[in-house]
Amino acid sequence: MKGRFIHRMIMPDPNIYLWIIGISVLIISFYNQLIGLIGIVLLVYLIYYNLKEKNQKKEELRLYIEKLSERVDFATKNAILNLPFPLVICDQEGNISWYNSLFLEIFKGNYMLDENVKTYLPSFDLDMVLKEGKKEFKNTSVKDRFYDLHCEPFDISEDDHDRQIIIIYLIDKTEYVLLKNRYLEEKNVVAILEVDNLDEVLKDVDEVYQPVILADLDRIIGSWALLNNASIQKYSNGEYILHFTQKQLSLMEENRFEILDKVREINSGNQIPLTLSIGVGVNGKTLSELQKFAKSAMDIALARGGDQAVVKNYDKLSFYGGKSKAVEKRTKVKARVIAYALRQLIEQSQDILIMGHEMADLDCLGASLGIYRCCKNQSKPVKIVLDKRNAGIENLMNELQKDEEYDNVFISGDEALSFDSKGTLLIIVDVHRPSFTVEPQLINKIEKKVVIDHHRRGTEFVDDAVLTYIEPYASSTSELVTEILQYMFEKPKIKQIEAEALLAGIFIDTKNFSFQTGVRTFEAASFLRRAGADTTLTRQLFQDDMDTFLARAEVVKMAQLYRNNIAISYIPKNVVNPALIAAQAADELLNIKGINASFVLSEREGYIYISGRSLGDINVQIVLEKLGGGGHLTVAGAQLSGIDMDEAILMIKNALDEYLKEGERK
């Protein structure tokens, strides 16, 4: 400000001089009119000259600015025309207005004016640019090359009309993408292969066939490894470790690990088919971490019943195979070890909490009562966490109410959260997914946890359990708990109602000994019968009232056939006990000739619940895993949120199509 004032003082405005001259001329005219007249003439000339000079300077300034603008416009146009990367301009409708020569070269001289830009840049989304402000689309494939698309929208006015144009320029990233893909393809992968039932198969064949089976096994796995450029090391009969690249893994996944089928087809005197489990570790930072991933994937594959491949990529798990029915493969040694370990944990704990899954069924409640008896036989305080009674367990709960011992046994999830986190042992039965339990927060609070389950292991799991007993070969969790009870005490004491609850759990999960039933299942049932379980009274726990029977019949009547052998139905609104009816209706549909699988949907509290059942030809576990569920080959479930019934049915059909297509590719 001070500098401007000094400048004005030194070089004042010419108008000031004119005012001074004008005033002086007026004063002179007062004393001498002749001289004043001459002064006026001079003043007029000076005013004219000043105006002329000003106009001339304005014109010179205008011409200078215009020439400067022309030079800037020329430089801008020249810069755009000679940009070292492809460029295209489109309007707000996506129609191409202009493009440079490099963009033209990509498409080999095609005339593109007024055509839509998505025809040439399919990944470009005009709405995301204009509405969401997105300005970059990375690694876009265009004519076998890869580009980053950078977008800049501009507002322009033409003929009093405002419109938008979008300038899109393409940065060639082909070399970077190819190098990155090559790096990823050449990264190491570690896989562990293990034959699930080699000992059982060799035990049942003549000794002369045993070397033949082992030779066939080595030959098939060795050929598969050679075909995939993998190094293979056999470290025991039926156990191998492989190293290969991620490129080969992609091919294996594309072929859905066909080695599983090849091993199953070995027929060299064996009556039982061989099954193979594969654990694959991907994207570990070191070989040690890769092997750790592979071992973890193998544990999951075995926990899910074997005969499948599991690929572990950090926390992401992918499953392949697992379509065959699990064959009973358990030893009593493991049951004894688990029983002994559980007994020690119970003895070392101040309190014991037993928790199953939400909407408990007879298997869940029966297993809970079995573990309850294990704790009471050691004189330990124990509670069972139960969210609320439902029709599936109503009859059993009514029987328990007749015995005063069970008056204060059942507590809510909120009450369980008040227990001490360090002195309490939490035993989770018939579920291994934290989100499916009665009170998921309890899992995070209690330090010592035990998991006992018979469902195939999914991606979600109680990772920090001190003892885990998951046996997908078992018919039910009640069967596992019955064995634990036998081996925990020399002469186990168990009440009749508890024995009947355990037997009811086995009944419901085996569909009266028709599904997933092994020798051990009958042994467990035999023990419960000797312990006082009355089969007639047990059957009464399954009795329904007339409304439930009629509702189930209505659901069966509404069922629609999909692909001629799959039944899909749903529970109408305002039906009481939809979860129970859905499970019963799914079972009932399998009694209809020609139906190999059934899915019944129910809606409650904003969720769609799916009950899936199968005779074994269709693995409902894999189908419902695609929808976030899980279970067994013949019995599985899932829950969906944020959709209506029609959308849920469509999702089941899509999952079935995907599952059947995978089967056709094998």
CATH assignment of 186-321, among 3.30.70.270, 3.90.1150.10, 3.30.465.10, 3.30.470.30: 3.30.70.270
Let me know: does 200 contact 273? Beta carbons within 8 Å. no
CA distance 437 to 358: 5
- Domain 87-178 fold is Beta-Lactamase (3.30.450)
| Weakest-pLDDT range from 88-92, 403-407, 428-432, 660-664 | 660-664
Name the amino acid, one letter, at 168. Answer: I
| Weakest-pLDDT range from 31-45, 143-157, 483-497 | 31-45
Would you state the pLDDT for residue 81?
59
- Say whether domain 546-665 belongs to CATH 3.10.310.30: yes
Position with higher pLDDT, 284 vs 78: 284
* Cα dihedral across residues 434, 440, 445, 450: positive or negative: negative
Would you state the pLDDT for residue 193?
95
Locate 274 and state its tokens: 């061989």
Confidence label for 163 from pLDDT (cuts 50, 70 and 90): confident
Confidence label for 89 from pLDDT (cuts 50, 70 and 90): confident
* Residue 298 pLDDT exceeds 50: yes
Mean pLDDT of 250-272: 89
**CATH code of the domain made up of 332-540:** 3.90.1640.10
User: Where in the chain are the domains?
Assistant: 2-80, 87-178, 186-321, 332-540, 546-665
Sheet holding 145-158, edge to edge: 96-99, 87-91, 161-172, 145-158, 136-142
Let me know: does 657 contact 648? Beta carbons within 8 Å. no
> Percentage of the chain with pLDDT > 90?
39
| Weakest-pLDDT range from 156-160, 248-252, 474-478, 608-612 | 156-160
Mean pLDDT of 22-47: 77
| SS3 per residue for 563-595 | CCCEEEEECCCCCCCHHHHHHHHHHHHCCCCCC
Q: Quick check: do 87-178 and 332-540 share a fold?
A: no
CA distance 534 to 521: 17
